[in-house]
Structure 1
Amino acid sequence: MQNSNTSTSAPQVLTVLMAEQRGDRDQVLPLTKNMIQLFNYLEDATKLKIEIRRYPWRRVLHNAENGEGFVFGIYKNPERMQSFIFSEPVYSDKIWLMSRCEDKITYNNIQDLKGKTIGIVQGSSAGEEFDNQVNVLFRAEYNTSSLAGRFSKLHQKRMDAFLLYDPRTNLREMQKEFNQIYAADIDEYRKKKTEIFCIVPKPINVIDAHFAMSTHGDRSLLERLDRALIQARKSGDLDRIFSK
């Protein structure tokens, strides 16, 4: 039981570093509803106050490695496991190819990308097989955190497709949403409502996303997060948060 001095003290702060996404006016886009639900849930379950800071992805990794806070939405790979300690999985991220509908791109295996130009955010990963073929089997077009900028490059045919990270599985709804936002000023879409951008139906990869902290960080915070995540998975709460 806590004594009277600790029971009224402010909750411990967990600083969470996340990648920013920027819109068509270079504004930082708000967090999605499922992310807000997740952080509210974890605050309640861990009794920690979560403070979110958003940066370009490379800066997220750099700042986390230097102890500013926990990375959120990071995948394991051999290089990162030298620098970070990972939480239990939070959700499974699907890595889709966003393409121009007119190109009718298909994807069944990595060889289907041969000779293509694929948009990639610097510092990101799509799994070991994909990462090993960057600028070997296919060419990388390195992008910033501006999602609007990526759609603009795609429309201008500066790349054949770009990587889209999204845990959702309803491709029709996702595609409709992205066209409504990012094809709104394109004549063909505005006049005929013909979709310009298409998601290739098979994902490049499905990878578990985690929290992670520097190997020099406070492991007690990670343990509190892990207990909450394990319970949330057992109860089905995590599935409910990411089901839409």
Structure 2
Amino acid sequence: MSAFALLPAFANASKPDNDKPVIKLFLQESLDIHGRQLPLDRDLEAILIYFERESGLHFDKQLLPWNRAQLMAQNGEGIVFGISKSPERLKLHHFSIPVVSEKIWAITYGNPRPNFQSIEDLRGKTVSIGRGFSHGMDFEKAKNVLFKVQEDSASSAARFKKLMNRRSDIMLWPVRQLQSASQVEAYLRDQLIPSFNDPELTGKTFYVSAKPVFYDTTHFAAANGKYEAEMEKLNVVIRKGTANGKLPKLLTKFY
């Protein structure tokens, strides 16, 4: 039996003083270089506050290992955010309409610099992804067929070091707002890598595929038959926020 017992949906829908229903919202944790859980990203928190305000829901936000977050949603214990579709997940969950579209870039280290332009360029490679991640339906069709997948830890710095030490050929990295390989490389060099405060990574240069190798969408999701009314409220917020431009404006701050 799973450690995460199946609970009825209403078991998590207690009400705080403001009478908004409380829903457990499961989020992917991130770890620092010492394996300690990092706090919720401030830009992501602003996005979730927007959804709470516009939907009338209240989230009990829980940062978890990504596989556990998905399993708890699958067991009907809450809603998971930031999940993409895969054939297996579609059997178990119902999904919101897309919150955001992502470009999935191939990150490499060292010379000669590869010229990756398409999925075919990944043939025969060992590809690093986050543990429990999917990068969309095209990725699911190609993984362990066109290329070998290695699932790695929730520490982004550890994943970059693994790539640097040639224990994987390529790392897949989703970016929402940036449009070109040069922009993504500048973001890695000037913002992401320095944010790790890791001497092994300081000053290191990572290359980005000439074009995204996959495209993906991320969603809210809940177990089939659970949280249907809440999911529809979230869909209303996505449609309205997309139409009036408020949601895209928030998302531009969150890579």
Task: Give the TM-score normalised by structure 1.
Answer: 0.87
Instruction: Report the counterpart of residue 144 of structure 1 in structure 2.
Output: 153
Shift, 1:103, TM fit: 4.1
CA contact 2:105–2:174 (8 Å) conserved in 1: yes
Instruction: Report the counterpart of residue 83 of structure 1 in structure 2.
Output: 92
What SS does the aligned partner of 1:79 have? helix
- Does residue 1:178 correspond to 2:192, yes or no? yes
**What does residue range 1-244 of structure 1 map to in structure 2 within 5 Å?**
9-169=18-178, 170-171=183-184, 172-182=186-196, 184-186=198-200, 190=202, 193=203, 195-244=204-253
**Across the two proteins, how many residue pairs are aligned to each other?**
234
The amino acid across from 1:24 in the alignment is I
Q: Distance in 1 between matches of 2:113 and 2:176?
A: 23
What SS does the aligned partner of 2:87 have? coil
What SS does the aligned partner of 1:136 have? coil
The amino acid across from 2:131 in the alignment is Q
Look at both structures and tell me which one has the larger radius of gyration over its CA atoms.
1
Structure 1 residues 208, 135: CA separation in 2 closer, same or farther (over 3 Å shift)? closer
Instruction: Report the counterpart of residue 12 of structure 2 in structure 1.
Output: none
What SS does the aligned partner of 1:35 have? helix
Q: Distance in 1 between matches of 2:174 and 2:165?
A: 21
Q: Deviations over 1:159-202 (max 9, x none)?
A: 1121112313141224322332358413xx75xx4x42233242
RMSD: 2.2
* Unaligned ranges ≥5, structure 1: 1-5
What SS does the aligned partner of 1:145 have? coil
The amino acid across from 1:69 in the alignment is G
Q: Deviations over 1:86-120 (max 9, x none)?
A: 11211112222221143412221211112211102
Structure 1 residues 19, 198: CA separation in 2 closer, same or farther (over 3 Å shift)? same
Q: Deviations over 1:196-219 (max 9, x none)?
A: 223324222221211011113121
Shift, 1:130, TM fit: 2.4
What SS does the aligned partner of 1:80 have? helix
Flag as ranges the 4+ runs of structure 1 deviating above 4 A. none
Structure 1 residues 128, 226: CA separation in 2 closer, same or farther (over 3 Å shift)? closer
- Identity, in percent, stands at 29
Q: Distance in 1 between matches of 2:218 and 2:138?
A: 17
